[in-house]
């Protein structure tokens, strides 16, 4: 009898965990953005889900309008993510400079402040900085 109760309880817990996570939480994000460093040791990050939800600190902070989400998708596609280098650094390191980490399709790209990434990647950075919750 105790085994049946334990098995039933385990089934309920697994079902509840799956229900509470929801379908969008289990999907990989469209893109994630992280800015760190600087003189004040800033830490700012967010995730854009495929649904257009902008998530920061585990909570939905905003939802992108369909046109803005389409523009983000188009900019990410135009960047040709798989062809970009994994890290962009300046010739001379900038003390207390910012470091940006952008992950798309499971592949992170790191950009140090002062680096000169290709324009197609700069377009992504500019767009994501505009989306960043303040």
Q: Regarding beta strands 107-112 and 87-88, do their DSSP bridges make them parallel or antiparallel, or are they unpaired?
A: parallel
The pLDDT score that the predictor gives to residue 74 is 97
Q: Which residues of the chain have pLDDT under 70?
A: 1-26, 134
- Asked if residues 76 and 123 have their Cβ atoms less than 8 Å apart, the reply is no
pLDDT tens digit string along 58-71?
Answer: 899 999 999 999 99
Q: Is 105 helix (H, G, I), strand (E, B) or coil?
A: coil
> Which helix (H) or strand (E) covers residue 67, if one does?
helix 66-78
Q: Is 101 helix (H, G, I), strand (E, B) or coil?
A: strand
The pLDDT score that the predictor gives to residue 95 is 86
- Asked if residues 23 and 49 have their Cβ atoms less than 8 Å apart, the reply is no
The pLDDT score that the predictor gives to residue 26 is 64
> Which helix (H) or strand (E) covers residue 2, if one does?
helix 2-26
- Asked if residues 13 and 3 have their Cβ atoms less than 8 Å apart, the reply is no
Cα distance between residue 102 and residue 31, in whole Å: 7
Largest Cα span, the chain: 70
Cα distance between residue 35 and residue 12, in whole Å: 40
The pLDDT score that the predictor gives to residue 9 is 32
**Model confidence, pTM:** 0.77
First-to-final CA distance of the chain: 55
Cα distance between residue 32 and residue 54, in whole Å: 9
Q: Where are the domains of the chain?
A: 27-131
């Amino acid at each position: 009898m105790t085994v049946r109760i334990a098995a039933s309880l385990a089934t309920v817990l697994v079902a509840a965990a799956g229900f509470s996570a929801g379908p969008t939480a289990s999907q990989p994000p469209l893109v994630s953005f992280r800015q760190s460093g600087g003189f004040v040791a800033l830490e700012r990050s967010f995730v854009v889900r495929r649904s257009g939800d902008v998530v920061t600190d585990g909570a939905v902070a905003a939802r992108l309008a369909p046109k803005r989400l389409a523009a983000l998708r188009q900019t990410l596609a135009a960047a040709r993510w798989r062809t970009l280098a994994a890290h962009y650094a300046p010739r001379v390191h900038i003390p207390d400079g910012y470091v940006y980490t952008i992950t798309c399709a499971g592949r992170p790209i790191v950009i140090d402040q002062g680096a000169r990434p290709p324009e197609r990647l700069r377009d992504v950075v500019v767009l994501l900085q505009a989306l960043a919750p303040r």
